[in-house]
Amino acid sequence: MPAINHPDYKEELERCNYTLEYVNKSLETTLYKKGTVDSTLERARKHFNAESSQDYIDIIINSLLQGSMDVKLKNLMAAKSKPYFARIDFTEKARSSPEKLYIGKMSLIRDEDQRLIIVDWRAPVANLYYEGRLGDASYECPDGKIEGTLELKRQISIEKGELKGIFDIDITTNDEFLQSSLGANADNRLKDIVTTIQAEQNAIIRADMWRPLIVQGAAGSGKTTIALHRIAYLIYNYEKTFYPENFMIIAPNKLFLNYISDVLPELGVEKVRQTTFEEFAQDLIGKRFKLRDANEKLLEFVDHTNTKEEKLRLTMVRRTSEFKASMYFKEALDSYLRVIEKNFIPKEDFIFGSTLIYKYEELNELFINQYKMWPIARRIDEIKKNLKTRIKAKKQAIINQLYESCDKRIAFLKLTVQDENERRKLATQAIDKRDHDIRNLEKESGTAVKDYIKKISRLSPYEYYNDLINDPRMFEEVVSPWLDEEMARFARSYTAQMLKSGRLEIEDLAPVIYLKFCIYGIDEKIPVRHVVIDEAQDFSAFQIFVLKKIIKDSSFTILGDLNQGIHSYRGIQDWNEITEHVFSDRRNEFLSLEQSYRTTVEIMNAANIVLDKIKSRQVNKGRPVIRHGQEVRIRAMADKKGIITEILKDLKEFKPLSYKSAAVICKTLKECREVHSLLSRQTKDITLITGKEEVYKSGIVVLPSCLAKGLEFDAVIIFNADAAGYTEDELDIKLLYVAMTRPLHRLHIYHTGEVTPLLRP
Upper half-sphere CA count for residue 640 (Cβ side, 13 Å): 13
Q: Please tell me the least confidently modeled range out of 142-146, 184-188, 492-496, 662-666.
A: 184-188
Least confident range from 12-21, 411-420, 707-716, 728-737: namely 411-420
Alpha-carbon span 149 to 140, nearest angstrom: 14
pLDDT score for 315: 93
Q: What is the pLDDT of residues 241-300, one digit of tens each?
A: 888 889 999 998 888 888 787 777 777 777 899 999 999 999 988 888 899 988 888 888
Q: Is the dihedral of CA 497, 501, 505, 511 positive or negative?
A: positive
CA distances from 450 to 366, 368, 378, 511 (A): 18, 21, 15, 31
Q: Are strands 633-637 and 686-688 parallel, antiparallel or unpaired?
A: unpaired
What integer pLDDT is reported at residue 50 of this predicted model?
Answer: 63
Check pLDDT > 50 for residue 191. no
Which tens digit of pLDDT belongs to each residue from 39-67?
877 777 776 666 666 666 767 777 777 77
Q: What is the pLDDT of residue 444?
A: 76
Average pLDDT for the chain: 88
pLDDT at residue 80 is higher than 80: yes
Residues with Cβ < 8 Å from 652, sequence gap 6 or more? none
Three-state secondary-structure class, residue 685: coil
CB atoms within 10 A of CB 514: 23
Q: Tell me which of 230-239, 397-406, 588-597 is least confident.
A: 397-406
Q: Which of 230-239, 351-360, 740-749 has the lowest mean pLDDT?
A: 351-360
User: Which pLDDT value is given to residue 550?
Assistant: 92
Q: What pLDDT score was predicted for residue 174?
A: 39
pLDDT of amino acid 112: 83
Q: What is the pLDDT averaged over residues 551-574?
A: 91
Quick one: pLDDT at residue 633?
Answer: 96
Which of 156, 155, 137 has the alpha carbon at shortest distance from 147? Answer: 137
Compute φ and ψ for 243, nearest 5 degrees.
-105, 160
> Chain-centre distance of CA 176, in angstroms?
35
At residue 192, the pLDDT reads 57
The whole-number pLDDT of residue 189 equals: 43
Statement: residue 181 has pLDDT above 60: no
Predicted local distance difference test score (pLDDT) of residue 55: 65
Judging by beta carbons within 10 Å of its beta carbon (0-12, 13-18, 19+), is residue 248 exposed, middle or buried? buried
H or E element at residue 721:
none
Closest CA to 507 of 541, 549, 468: 541
pLDDT tens for residues 616-675? Answer: 777 888 888 878 999 999 999 999 999 999 999 999 999 999 898 999 999 988 999 999
The torsion of the CA quartet 486, 488, 493, 494, rounded to 10 degrees, works out to: 100
Q: Over 60: is that where the pLDDT of 177 sits?
A: no
pTM of the model: 0.85
Q: How many angstroms separate the CA atoms of 499 and 365, rounded?
A: 36
The whole-angstrom separation of Cα 537 and Cα 559 is 8
Judge whether 212 and 583 are in contact, CB under 8 Å.
yes
Three-class DSSP category at 188:
helix
Q: Write down the pLDDT at residue 49.
A: 64
Instruction: Give the pLDDT band (50/70/90) at residue 180.
Output: low
More confident residue, 267 or 453: 453
Residue 188 has pLDDT above 60, yes or no: no
Return the pLDDT at 621. 85
Residue 177: CB partners within 8 Å, gap ≥ 6? 155, 157, 165, 167, 169, 195, 196
Which has more confidence, 525 or 384?
Answer: 384
pLDDT of res. 275: 93
Alpha carbon dihedral 173, 178, 182, 183, in 10-degree steps, equals 130
pLDDT of the residue at 240: 83
